[in-house]
Amino acid sequence: MSSSPAHAGASSPEPPSFEAMKARQKRQQGWLRDRIRPIKPRVYISVGLGFTGGLCLILQAWLLATILHGAVIEGRAITDFAREIMLVIAAVLIRAAMLGLAERVGMANAVALKTGLRRELIARITAAGPDFIASTGSGPIITAAYDQIEALDNYIARYLPQRMLAGLIPLAIVIAVWPVNWIAALILLATGPLIVMMMALVGLGAAAASRKQMVALERLGGYFVDRLRGLDTLRLFGQAEAEMARVRMMADNFRGRTMSVLRLAFLSSAVLEFFSSIAIAILAVNIGLALLGLVNVGPLANISLFAALFILILAPDFYLPLRQLGQYYHDRATALAAAESLMDIEQRAGDFIVSTGVAAETTQTNTDSAITFNAVSLNYDGDRAALEEVSLSVAAGETIALIGPSGSGKSSLLKLLLGFVTPGSGSITINDRVLGHDLPIEDFRRQCAWVGQKTHLFRGTIAENIALARPGADRAAIEAAAGSAGVTHFTRHLPDGLDTALGEQGHGVSGGEAQRIAIARAFLADRPILLLDEPTAHLDRETTESVLEGLRKLIPGRTVIAATHTPALLALADRTIALDHGRINEAADAKLLLDEALP
C-alpha cells in the first residue's frame, strides 16, 4: 500500500498549450471514431428518426399558421379546418413517436458500444496477464472498465445523433422559411453560428475539467481499493481512522472537481439560452414592427400574418437543436476525457502483450510436454536480474523440484514458462517449438494446470469454483476431482456439501481447504503439465500433509515443475534443481540452499 493519497493535494502541472490540447483531442476523437464505426449505421437510424420528427415540426407550424391566419384574417369558422386540425394532431403524435424511437435506438447503441469496449478491454487485460494487473493496479483497471466506459453513454446515445441533427433540422427550417420570407431566413442563418461559436469556447474549458475529473476518479478508485484490501493491516497498526480521513479528503477533492465540471455545464447552457433568446427577440421585434407598418424593408414590408406566425413558431425550434447540442456538449468533453484514460490502459496492456510475447490468437493445440530453457535471462525494471543464463531440460513425464531462498528466481522461471514475462535473452522450447513464436502462449497454457501459494476463490459454490478448470464439466467429474483432491473430506461436514456458497476471496474455507480446491481444479483440468508454486507455503504441518496427499495422486503421469521449500514435496521429485541469485547451482549446493530457505 502507498502511504499517501496518490498526490490528492499535489499542485497541478503547467497547462498544455493550445496546439497540444488540439493534438490530444484529435487522438481522442480518432480513438472514439474507430470504436463507433461498427455501430455507425445504427447511429444514422437514430438521426433519421430525429430528423423525421423535425420535419413533422415544420408541417405542424405550417398547419397552425394556416389555421390561425384563416380564422383571424379571413374570418373562417374553426370547423372549416377539421382536416388541418387532424393533421396537426397526427404530426404531434408522429413527432413524439419518432423522438421516442430515436431515444431508444440511441440507448441501444450506447449499450452495444459499452459491451463491446468492456469485452475488448477485458480481453487485452487477460492477454497481458497478472503482472500487468499488478503493475497497473486494480483500481485504475476497475475504474476504466466501469466508470470510464460508462461515461461514454450519453456521448453515444445523445451527443452523436444531436451533432448531426443540429445541422440538419435548422437547415430544413431555413429552407422552409426562405420562400416565405428570405430576410427572416437570413437572420436565422446569421445568428445560428453564434451559438456554435460559444459552444466551442466553453467546450475547451469543459474538456480540461473533465480530464482532471477522470484522473481524480482513477486515483480515488485505486486508493480506496488498496486501503480496503489492507483494512486488517490498517486496524492492527491503528491507522484505520487516519486512512479514513485521507479517503475523505480525496473524496472531497473529487467532489470539488465534479462541481467544477457541472458549473461549466450549467454556464454553457445559460450562455446558449441567452444568445438564442436574443436571436429570437431580434426576429420577433422585426416581424412585430413589420406587422405594425413601422418597417418597410424588402419582404418585411408586406409580411402576412401567416408568414409571421409560421416564422415565429419555427424560430425557437431553429435554435432548439443547437441548445440541446450545447447541453450534450458536456457529455462530449466527458467522453474525450474517458477516451484518454481508456487509450492509456489499452496502450499499456498492448505494450505489455508485445513485450512479453503473449499471443493474441491461437492455433492448434499442442500436447507435447518436454520443456527446455535455453540460456534464459530475465531482468525486472530494466536492470534487476531475476534469472541469468538459465539452461534446463525437463523430459516429458518428469518431476523436478526448484529450491532456493526467496528471490532466487523460482517463481520467475514459472512466470516465463506461462508467458507472463518475456526473457531478455534466450528462449524456451516445447519439443523444439519456440514458445511465443512457433507455439502460441495460449496453446501452451491449455496444456498446463497450476497450483500456487494462494488460491483465488470466487464468490459462488465450491463446485462452481472447481468447475472453473473445465467449464461444462458434469457433476460426476466435479465430484470425482473433489474426492481425489480431498475436498470431500471437509465438505461432507458442511450442510450443502459441494454446493456450499463461498464469499469473496474464498471467505468460508481455510487456507488448506482452498489449496485442496486448487488441486481439485488441476484434477478436473487433467492436463499433461503441472506447475506448482509453493503450494504448501504458510500451511501448518497437518494441513500440509493433507495437501500433499492430493498432490501424490495428481503428479504421476504428468510433467511437473514445482517451486517448493517443503522436504516432503521434494521426495516426490525425480530431480532437484537449486537456484541461487538467478543461477542454477550444482546439485551439491541443494541441501545447503534448502536449509537456508526453510524457517
pLDDT 10s digits, 450-473: 888 888 888 888 899 899 888 888
- Residue 322 near residue 170, CB atoms below 8 Å: yes
Express each pLDDT in 308-319 by its tens digit. Answer: 889 888 888 888
Task: Report the alpha-carbon distance of residue 11 to residue 13 in Å, rounded.
Answer: 7
CA 278 – CA 578 distance, rounded (Å): 83
User: For position 104, what pLDDT does the model report?
Assistant: 94
Helix or strand run (H / E) with residue 553: helix 541-554
pLDDT of residue 268: 67
- The bridge status of strand 399-403 relative to strand 425-430 is unpaired
Averaged over 295-311, what is the pLDDT? 77
Q: How many domains does the chain have?
A: 2
Question: Closest Cα partner for 35 from 91, 109, 145, 134?
Answer: 109
Q: What is the pLDDT of residue 2?
A: 43
For residues 328 and 386, state if they share a domain.
Answer: no
> What pTM does this model have?
0.65
What value does the CA radius of gyration of the chain take, rounded to a whole number of Å?
A: 34
Q: What is the side-by-side strand order in the sheet with 529-533?
A: 448-451, 529-533, 559-563, 399-403, 575-580, 583-585
Cell representation of residue 111: 449499450
Residue 96's pLDDT band, with cuts at 50, 70 and 90, is very high
Please determine, for residue 354, whether its predicted confidence score (pLDDT) is greater than 80: no
Q: What are the residues whose beta carbons fall under 8 Å from the beta carbon of 399, sequence distance 6 or more?
A: 555, 558, 559, 560, 562, 572, 573, 574, 575
For residue 137, tell me if it sits in a domain: yes
Quick one: 448 and 558 in the same domain?
yes
Q: How many CB atoms lie within 10 A of CB 360?
A: 13
362: pLDDT strictly greater than 50: no
Distance CA 428, CA 433 (A): 8
* Same domain for 404 and 270: no
Same domain membership, residue 328 and residue 215: yes
Residue 303: predicted pLDDT: 80
**Maximum average pLDDT range among 105-119, 226-240, 323-337:** 105-119
Neighbours of 534 (CB within 10 A): 21
Kindly report, residue by residue over 419-455, the tens digit of the pLDDT.
877 787 888 888 888 887 888 888 888 888 888 888 8
Residue 496 belongs to what domain range? 371-597
Residue where a domain stops, chosen among 356, 380, 415: 356
Please check whether residues 319 and 379 belong to one and the same domain.
no
> Does the pLDDT value for residue 391 go beyond 80?
yes
Contact of 149 with 114, CB cutoff 8 Å? yes
Same structural domain for residues 147 and 190?
Answer: yes
Instruction: Confirm whether 580 is domain-assigned.
Output: yes
Q: Based on the domain organization, do 312 and 377 belong to the same domain?
A: no
Give 204's pLDDT tier (boundaries 50, 70, 90).
low
